[in-house]
Amino acid sequence: MPTLQLLLVKFGIRFVGVKLGILGLGTVGTGTVQLLQDNAGRHPLLRDVEIYRVGVRSLDKPRMVELPGAVLTTDLAAIVNDPQVDIVVEVIGGLEPARSLILKAIENGKHVVTANKAVISRFGDEIFTAANKAGVYVMLEAAVGGGIPVIQPLKQSLSVNRIHTVTGIVNGTTNYILTRMQTEGISFDDVLADAQKLGYAEADPTADVDGLDAADKIAILASLAFGGRIKLQDVYCEGIRQVSKTDIAYADKLGFVIKLLAIAKTVNLPPISPTLREATYASTPDHPISVRVHPTLVPKAHPLASINGVYNAILVEGEPIGQVMFFGPGAGAGATASAVSSDILNLVAALQTSTATPNPLLSCRHQDYCQITPLEELVTRFYTRFLTKDQPGVIGKLGTCFGKYSVSLESVVQTGFQGELAEIVVVTHDVREGDFRQALAEIRTLEAIDSIPSLLRVL
Ligand code: HSE
């Protein structure tokens, strides 16, 4: 904070004018400017915020907000280097130049607000190390769940709990697609094409439908919940392209809906003494966790089963709190602006009460990487659909093979045919993923098995 402001704070004089340098005036930037300009009825500290500079790609583009000509600039580097700027708000998205601009702002002693999950999940280590060294805060409420406040709750209110599971529907596009497949009985390709026409899905839907966006978000949530850094490459990621309307219909009959879940969960410890177990249980980077994104059969009675359309929800489970679920709009100008502005508000408050010691509830306290359990060690239930010859003994052979690898079956259903082939759907009890995959490899070699079109995990 500039010296004059520190002096004013020291003598109890409230200063006006925390200067923002906003990088980007797309959907989120525009929403944030609109919220800050229309500040009546919101927290009074927002009146102390001055939109000082806004960096854009083109000065000629028509805008939905009115800003004095001198505020807009195409020189983004000048914003992060301007000594007058107190807070840099990065809402340009993408990896570069976002990462470099954030790092430069930090180096210049500015606090940063970002909505950029891609940069944080990949370069969080570099960014937070630099921020801690410079004594500044990097705030990212808008990076996960759009308007849903989940980052600050994990950092503050919930951090007194031992968190053991974070389960989220954190991508609105895929939730919209799966909801329509479920309610209208239509295929992934048909819904995707329609969603693109309606503007619910991007022209290049890869980041959403292949689960990459959700993987960025669960890496961030896991890091906060389990108190360690996460390497994005350790997050198992499977999208929804292979989810078929046949599986959605079978899941429905069996009492499930299919959702793209992002899950971060402590892994069951082997049997050890209660004292040692207590000492190593959850919320320490020493405790192994699994972090993954995949389509999942969710029991219809589960709180996440009823989250439909573009909405997001994050269920946090811990001790002693039990279950807490956050629900709301995961994207959109107003929702994301709410999250960005809440970070700005926290920073204005921090600037106005600044001491030499950083507020530990706003800064990143992680030093070490979380220990991630390999997928084959995961213990979960599976749903599998087989196409087989319609002949005596096939179900028996499947059962024998599963039994050989300690895979216990919860249900076996044969209701349909595809041409000459019988369709058999199996749901297992909890099983080690490695054992299940070994059983499947052997089943694939059976003469009666035509193919295994689907393999999904069950919550
Ligand atoms: N593309 C994301 C979604 C929104 O579909 O939820 C931005 O994170």
Q: Establish whether 217 is a catalytic residue.
A: yes
Using a 6 Å cutoff on CB, does residue 336 contact ligand 1?
A: no
Using a 6 Å cutoff on CB, does residue 213 contact ligand 1?
A: yes
Q: Which two tokens stand for residue 349?
A: 């408050």
What pLDDT is stored for residue 283 in this prediction?
45
- Tell me the CATH architecture of domain 376-458: 2-Layer Sandwich (3.30)
What pLDDT is stored for residue 286 in this prediction?
61
Q: What is the pTM of this model?
A: 0.92
Q: Any idea of the CA torsion for 43, 45, 50, 56, to the nearest 10 degrees? A: -50
Using a 6 Å cutoff on CB, does residue 145 contact ligand 1?
A: no
pLDDT digits (tens, 9 = 90+) for 77-111: 999 999 999 999 999 999 999 999 999 999 999 99
| Residue of 104, 110, 217, 265 marked catalytic | 217
Which run of H or of E encompasses 253? helix 245-254
Strand, helix or coil for residue 157: helix
Rounded Cα–Cα distance for residues 121 and 397 (Å): 45
pLDDT digits (tens, 9 = 90+) for 242-294: 999 999 999 999 999 999 999 999 986 554 444 444 444 444 556 799 999 99
Domain 3-147+334-353: which topology?
Rossmann fold (3.40.50)
Using a 6 Å cutoff on CB, does residue 171 contact ligand 1?
A: yes
Q: Which amino acid is at 403?
A: G
Strand, helix or coil for residue 237: strand
330 in a known ligand binding site: no
Q: What is the per-residue burial (b if ≥16 Cβ within 10 Å, else e) of 207-221? A: bbbbbbbbbbbbbbb
Q: Do the beta carbons of residue 362 and residue 356 sit within 8 Å?
A: no
By DSSP bridging, strand 162-169 and strand 87-90 are unpaired
Q: Which two tokens stand for residue 242?
A: 């292979």
> How many CB atoms lie under 10 A from the CB of residue 24?
24
What pLDDT is stored for residue 11 in this prediction?
54
Q: Any idea of the CA torsion for 300, 306, 308, 314, to the nearest 10 degrees? A: -110
Q: What is the distance in A from the centroid of ligand 1 to the CA of 194?
A: 17
DSSP codes, 322-361: EEEEEEEE-SSHHHHHHHHHHHHHHHHHHHHT--SS--TT
Nearest partner of 200 among 163, 172, 240, 169, judged by Cα: 172
Main-chain dihedrals φ then ψ at residue 63, nearest 5 degrees: -120, 155
Q: Which two tokens stand for residue 217?
A: 């978000």
Using a 6 Å cutoff on CB, does residue 343 contact ligand 1?
A: no
Q: CA angle at residue 225 from 117 to 348, to 5 degrees?
A: 60
What pLDDT is stored for residue 10 in this prediction?
54
Q: Does 152-329 match 3-147+334-353 at the fold level?
A: no
Rounded Cα–Cα distance for residues 215 and 192 (Å): 20
> How many CB atoms lie under 10 A from the CB of residue 94?
11
Could you give the C-alpha distances from 456 to 67, 250, 399, 427, in angstroms and in order?
A: 51, 12, 18, 10
Q: What is the distance in A from the centroid of ligand 1 to the CA of 140?
A: 15
Strand, helix or coil for residue 90: strand
Domain 152-329: which topology?
Dihydrodipicolinate Reductase; domain 2 (3.30.360)
Query: pLDDT tens digits, the chain, 459 residues: what are they?
Result: 444 555 555 554 445 589 999 999 999 999 999 999 999 999 999 999 999 999 999 999 999 999 999 999 999 999 999 999 999 999 999 999 999 999 999 999 999 999 999 999 999 999 999 999 999 999 999 999 999 999 999 999 999 999 999 999 999 999 999 999 999 999 999 999 999 999 889 999 999 999 999 999 999 999 999 999 999 999 999 999 999 999 999 999 999 999 999 999 998 655 444 444 444 444 455 679 999 999 999 999 999 999 999 999 999 999 999 999 999 999 999 999 999 999 999 999 999 886 777 888 888 878 789 999 999 999 999 999 999 999 999 999 999 999 999 999 999 999 888 899 999 999 999 999 999 999 999 999 999 999 999 999 999
What pLDDT is stored for residue 367 in this prediction?
78
Rounded Cα–Cα distance for residues 299 and 406 (Å): 24
What pLDDT is stored for residue 357 in this prediction?
77
Rounded Cα–Cα distance for residues 234 and 399 (Å): 33
Rg from Cα positions in the chain: 25
Main-chain dihedrals φ then ψ at residue 420, nearest 5 degrees: -85, -15
Rounded Cα–Cα distance for residues 231 and 220 (Å): 10
Q: Do the beta carbons of residue 186 and residue 320 sit within 8 Å?
A: no
Using a 6 Å cutoff on CB, does residue 216 contact ligand 1?
A: no
Q: Which two tokens stand for residue 8?
A: 């004013």
Q: Domain ranges in the chain?
A: 3-147+334-353, 152-329, 376-458
Strand, helix or coil for residue 428: strand
Q: Do the beta carbons of residue 317 and residue 161 sit within 8 Å?
A: no
Rounded Cα–Cα distance for residues 73 and 83 (Å): 16
Q: Do the beta carbons of residue 239 and residue 210 sit within 8 Å?
A: yes
Nearest partner of 52 among 78, 18, 28, judged by Cα: 18
pLDDT digits (tens, 9 = 90+) for 201-218: 999 999 999 999 999 999
Rounded Cα–Cα distance for residues 104 and 98 (Å): 10
CB under 8 Å to 76, separation ≥6 — which residues?
23, 55, 92, 97, 101
Q: What is the distance in A from the centroid of ligand 1 to the CA of 147?
A: 11
Q: Which two tokens stand for residue 400?
A: 């024998």
What pLDDT is stored for residue 354 in this prediction?
67
Q: Do the beta carbons of residue 206 and residue 173 sit within 8 Å?
A: no
Position in ligand 1 atom list of the atom nearest CA 202:
1
Rounded Cα–Cα distance for residues 297 and 314 (Å): 16
Q: Which residue's CA is the nearest one to ligand 1's atom 7?
A: 331
Choose the residue to mutate in 171, 217, 220, 336 for probing ligand 1, maximizing ligand atoms within 8 Å of C-beta.
171
